[in-house]
Amino acid sequence: MGNITLKAEHLSKVFNVFKAVDDICFEARRGEILGILGPNGAGKTTTVQMLLGLITPTSGYIEALGMDLARYRQKIARNVNFSSAYVNLPANLTVSENLHIFARLYDVKHPETKIEQLLDLLGLQGTQRKPAGQLSSGQQIRLNLCKALLNDPEILFLDEPTSSLDPDIADRTRQLLMSIRQERELTIIFTSHNMAEMEKISDRVLFMLQGKIIAGGRPTEVIQRYHGQSLEEVFLKLARQTKERKEGEL
Ligand SMILES: Nc1ncnc2c1ncn2[C@@H]1O[C@H](COP(=O)(O)OP(=O)(O)O)[C@@H](O)[C@H]1O
Ligand SMILES: [Mg+2]
């Protein structure tokens, strides 16, 4: 496993008085798929948005690619990218038009070649002239990934990328992500509330609950440490313990 590409130290985000992210610390390495797991409202998206520099942390420190994010946001932004199931590309523009717009935005040196290569990698050859809105849901996710790989990012953030896909297409998307990670030595930060999915794809997972990281490690280690059969079972156990502890404090 490679060197550290992303580091979060005592990261918190408070909205008014509500702690959406509560003093979390973690690192990610080159070539690693780090899964951030947790139920809706756990703080996953808020965390990703801080790591991307889209929202400012209330406190804490983020280092990406060896640089302080607060100081070198622009420089870092050139080498990271993002894809989410909830962000769609303009539906009336064709696949080719969409990708050329982003290629220009990212200042890609040889856009034609780059786009060709990525369409090939993502199995989207032949869709160039189709409006993005007419692609199947699996193709739209892959188009989003294509966009996200245009600038050859070193860190790729994926916020619930497979949550709207049917199981078969979700599985194929995961296979694709794993091969891209291997080929490009990418750091992939992947959020999901689907525990089974995370068990398959992640090198390491972080369990988030109510803004806190309540456990973390390699999926097999986490399962062993908490004497479970699956991540899902372990997570339910930990969530229950956390709830009981909270009730005990009241
Ligand atoms: N802009 C905001 N203002 C107020 N509360 C927010 C805002 N964004 C998120 N939250 C709250 O923070 C918590 C964590 O949200 P989020 O990070 O989206 O969780 P997740 O992605 O794990 O579902 C939720 O309770 C959500 O309602
Ligand atoms: Mg979310």
Q: What is the pTM of this model?
A: 0.92
pLDDT in tens, 54-99: 999 999 999 999 999 999 999 999 999 999 876 778 999 999 999 9
CA separation, residue 102 to residues 20, 77, 143, 147, 215 (Å) = 32, 14, 12, 7, 37
Mean local confidence (pLDDT), 230-237: 92
Q: Which atom of ligand 1 is nearest to the CA of 55?
A: 1
Ligand 2 centre to CA of 226 (Å) is: 26
Q: Residue 235 pLDDT > 80, yes or no?
A: yes
Mean local confidence (pLDDT), 145-156: 95
Which of these ranges, 95-109, 150-164, 213-227, has the smallest mean pLDDT?
A: 150-164
Q: Which atom of ligand 1 is nearest to the CA of 49?
A: 17
pLDDT score, position 241 = 85
Mean local confidence (pLDDT), 192-215: 92
pLDDT score, position 1 = 56
**CA of 84, nearest ligand number:** 2
pLDDT > 70 fraction of the chain, expressed in percent and rounded: 98
CB 239 within 8 A of CB 216: no
Which residue of 45, 51, 52, 58 sits with most ligand 1 atoms within 8 Å of its CB, as the best mutation to test the pocket? 45
Q: Which atom of ligand 1 is nearest to the CA of 42?
A: 22
pLDDT score, position 166 = 79
